[in-house]
Amino acid sequence: MLKDIAVWGRSTTEYIQMFDLVAADLKLNILDCAAGPASFNAEMTRQGFNVISCDTIYNLTANEIAHCIQEANQPIMNVLQTNSDSFVWQKIQSPYQLQELRMAAMQTFLEDFRLGVEENRYITSALPNLPFTDRKFDLALCSHLLFTYSHCLSQEFHLASIMEMCRVAKQTRIFPLLSTSGKLSSLVQPVINELKKQGYTVEIKEVAYEFQKGGNKLLQVSSPL
């Protein structure tokens, strides 16, 4: 699965917008699933907040992760340039500005990585099996994995992953709901239907962040009490 999924990260500013995080949310115990080289953990930790990140890439060294980032960079830039009409160029005005912003965020992650591993803030693990006790976290976040890669991750994987995040956290938020094609993932409605059938509270919420056209919604899920 790793070879199909880009090692790429976003900033805390993007996280706050993507996940509709308000000031009270930032004070919660947060789990960032499939976090990759995002700077969210590093930046939040500096501000005194509590974030644990998990990803399979954390079994690599910082240099190895940096190499994976460089490998992902050109293919991502090619997609941005070839399909520029599929993106909203407002807050971010060009592919090159996006590259600059994302690379800066990922450099922040790389500089924090060794210390974060020592402090058990970066945990090597993968959905749908998380090494945490029930309700350890207040909020679980998952960015650009579920639904994004629905062409190679099954409906069963999505359901198992969401239910696992709901096991370890009181609430789960997933962003975006678009696949890599830029269209709403065909798995969104079947997954919602099954979660509701099993008693989960499910809501689609519009957020202030839109980079992929139409990619301005998250899925919020809470498990039955």
Domains of the chain (ranges plus CATH)? 2-222 (3.40.50.150)
Evaluate if pTM is beyond 0.85: yes
Strands, DSSP E only, in the chain? Answer: 29-33, 50-54, 122-123, 137-143, 169-175, 201-206, 217-222
Contact 178, 212 (CB under 8 A): yes
Give residue 37's pLDDT. 97
Q: Which residue has the tokens 């070839």?
A: 82
Tokens coding 67: 């190499």
Distance CA 148, CA 161 (A): 14
Pairing of strands 217-222, 201-206: antiparallel
| pLDDT score for 96 | 92
Residues 6+ apart with CB under 8 A from 137: 28, 29, 30, 31, 52, 168, 169, 170
Distance, in Å, from the CA atom of 94 to the CA atom of 27, rounded to the nearest integer, reads: 33
Please report, in angstroms and rounded to a whole number, the separation of the first and last CA atoms in the chain.
33
Q: Which regions of 73-143 does DSSP assign to beta strands (E)?
A: 122-123, 137-143
Angle of helix 62-82 versus helix 95-118 axis, rounded to 10: 160
Give residue 3's pLDDT: 53
CA distance 3 to 32: 21
* pLDDT at residue 224, rounded to an integer: 83
Mean pLDDT by groups of 10 residues along the chain of 225 residues: 75 97 98 97 98 97 96 90 91 91 97 98 97 97 96 96 98 96 96 98 97 96 88
User: Which of 14, 9, 148, 13 has the alpha carbon at shortest distance from 73?
Assistant: 9
